[in-house]
Amino acid sequence: MTEDTTGRWRGWRTAAEEALYGPVGFYRRPEGPAGHFRTSVHASALFAGAVARLLCRVDEALDRPAALDFVDLGAGRGELVTGVLAALPAEVAARVRAHGVEIADRPEGLDPRVGWLTESPKEITGLLFANEWLDNVPVDVAEVDSAGVPRLVLVREDGTERLGEPVSGAEAAWLARWWPPTPEEGLRAEIGLPRDTAWASAVARVDRGLAIAVDYAHTTDTRPPFGTLTGFREGRETAPVPDGSCDITAHVALDACAEAGATAADAAGALSGARLLTQRAALRALGVTGARPPLTLASTDPTAYVRALASSGEAAELTAAGGLGDFGWLVHSVGIPDPLDEP
């Protein structure tokens, strides 16, 4: 007889871990993430082109090593790593060791130059790029009770919730440091400690180069009072239900991750630096501006004008305020200058 697990009460971190990454979890489904939500990678090839230009800048800062790593962390079905390889100059592409890191099986037809791994290489010289990865590192949720005490939110497989024990230990310390609870009943916070740990581990694997996390984000001055936990199914936002039928995600406290990554790099004795910026600022620094082509081009070369206009529209979507342009970029340089600094 199969065990009935639908009535188990668990914290959101444990429930989401199983629902997303268990044997029949959401991220093991054949359609992949692209079947349910659209990221910058899916919005336009301009995004992969910008990442390729960034990789070239890292290459220059590293004095063009014989082997240049590009690690696509949370690679989905390999869309970004494939696009980056296609956009690189031939001389750079010939030296690139490309890795897709994902729990799902290697996609059929993936470029044979791409290695497919379940965890990042231990020694990286180049660029580690985590696009919408941290928001799917499961976290526990805290809610303030009627006495003003933050308690863990417990959930069953059908999405029903109740309050559990008071938050304690390292989780309570994280809340006090990064998301201090206000004693008002019903207010919520997502305890981002597992994401700090995951990002510190990722940065620690970069010997020299750059680590970047791109995600929905908030910082200490913009924490949402009721949290951000939600689900996505077939392109639409939905209630988060930890049964494997939908994505379960929450925005990322990128400022906390930045400090954790810097601490990990310092412990390893690496010369490093971290900063936060918007996707709009990052992509503009990489030449994606959304500027419309000159009207004169329409009369001199109509076909080129139409292509340029389409590209402009895609760039505008990637950098739009209130949309993808507001994504946070956590840029962590290790042993090289930040290649996104203005010249």
Residue 295 to residues 30, 119, 301, 317, Cα–Cα distance (Å) = 45, 49, 10, 21
pLDDT at residue 320 in the model: 82
Cβ neighbours of residue 236 under 8 Å, at least 6 residues apart?
Answer: none
Q: Is the pLDDT of residue 279 over 60?
A: yes
Q: Is the pLDDT of residue 39 over 80?
A: no
Average pLDDT, the chain: 88
pLDDT digits (tens, 9 = 90+) for 215-231: 999 999 999 999 999 99
Query: Cα(307)–Cα(309) distance, rounded to whole angstroms?
Result: 5
Contact indicator for 190, 229 with CB cutoff of 8 Å: yes
Q: Is 20 helix (H, G, I), strand (E, B) or coil?
A: helix
Name which of 73, 99, 49 is nearest 330 in CA terms: 73
pLDDT digits (tens, 9 = 90+) for 259-268: 999 887 776 6
For residues 320 and 248, which has the higher predicted lDDT (pLDDT)?
248
Give the count of alpha carbons within 13 A of 177, CB side only: 16
75-108: burial string, b at 16+ Cβ within 10 Å, e else:
bbbbbbbbbbbebbeeebbeebbbbbbbebeebe
Provide the token pair at 143: 């809610």
319-343: burial string, b at 16+ Cβ within 10 Å, e else:
beeeebbebbbbbbbbbbeebbeee
For residues 223 and 7, which has the higher predicted lDDT (pLDDT)?
223
pLDDT digits (tens, 9 = 90+) for 81-123: 999 999 999 999 999 999 999 988 999 999 999 999 999 999 9
Query: Cα(73)–Cα(18) distance, rounded to whole angstroms?
Result: 20
Query: Cα(171)–Cα(150) distance, rounded to whole angstroms?
Result: 11
Q: Which pTM was predicted?
A: 0.89
Q: Is the pLDDT of residue 2 over 50?
A: no
271-303: burial string, b at 16+ Cβ within 10 Å, e else:
ebebebebbbebbbbbebebeebeeebeeeeee
Residue 89 to residues 56, 84, 241, 322, Cα–Cα distance (Å) = 9, 10, 44, 33
**Angle at the Cα of 166 (from 160 to 170), degrees rounded to 5?**
110
pLDDT at residue 236 in the model: 86
State how far Cα 11 lies from the chain centre.
Answer: 22
Query: Cα(216)–Cα(104) distance, rounded to whole angstroms?
Result: 23
